[in-house]
């Protein structure tokens, strides 16, 4: 399946379920793959507006900003994600966010 048709499919699905976290997050991922970085940013932020504890969206925003050499913005999202991961006692995410912060601050 072509990526653009996946984007269209996700957009159609979101018409019926606009607050579905996974669909919003998945659309952000597809936008990243298409290098529609502004759309991806908006989509990940929409995901966080729906659920501020959806840590995968923090990680993707951090990586998105890191890829654009916007390290201060990337660090902000990595650190927010790290804080929430600690609150959730999510050790895998704690390690991933910790490594991301370390690499940018080093």
pLDDT at 3 (0 to 100):
60
CATH superfamily for domain 53-106: Tetratricopeptide repeat domain (1.25.40.10)
Where, residue-wise, is CATH 1.25.40.10 in the chain? 53-106
Separation of alpha carbons 99 and 71, rounded Å: 14
pLDDT at 72 (0 to 100):
97
Tokens representing 26 are 């998945």
Place of tokens 């916007």: 70
pLDDT at 1 over 60: no
Separation of alpha carbons 23 and 12, rounded Å: 10
Separation of alpha carbons 98 and 24, rounded Å: 25
pLDDT at 5 (0 to 100):
87
- Spatial neighbors of 61 by CB under 8 A, at least 6 apart, are 41, 44, 45, 48, 73, 74, 77
Q: What is the pLDDT of residues 13-72, one digit of tens each?
A: 999 999 999 999 999 999 999 999 999 999 999 999 999 999 999 999 999 999 999 999
pLDDT at 106 (0 to 100):
75
């Amino acid at each position: 399946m072509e990526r653009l048709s996946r984007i269209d499919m996700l957009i159609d699905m979101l018409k019926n379920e606009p607050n579905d976290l996974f669909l919003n997050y998945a659309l952000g991922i597809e936008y990243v793959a298409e290098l529609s970085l502004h759309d991806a940013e908006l989509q990940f932020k929409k995901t966080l507006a729906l659920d501020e504890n959806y840590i995968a969206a923090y990680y993707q925003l951090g990586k998105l900003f890191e890829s654009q050499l916007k390290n201060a913005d990337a660090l902000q999202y990595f650190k927010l994600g790290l804080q929430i991961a600690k609150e959730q006692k999510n050790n895998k995410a704690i390690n991933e966010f910790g490594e991301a912060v370390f690499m940018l601050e080093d």
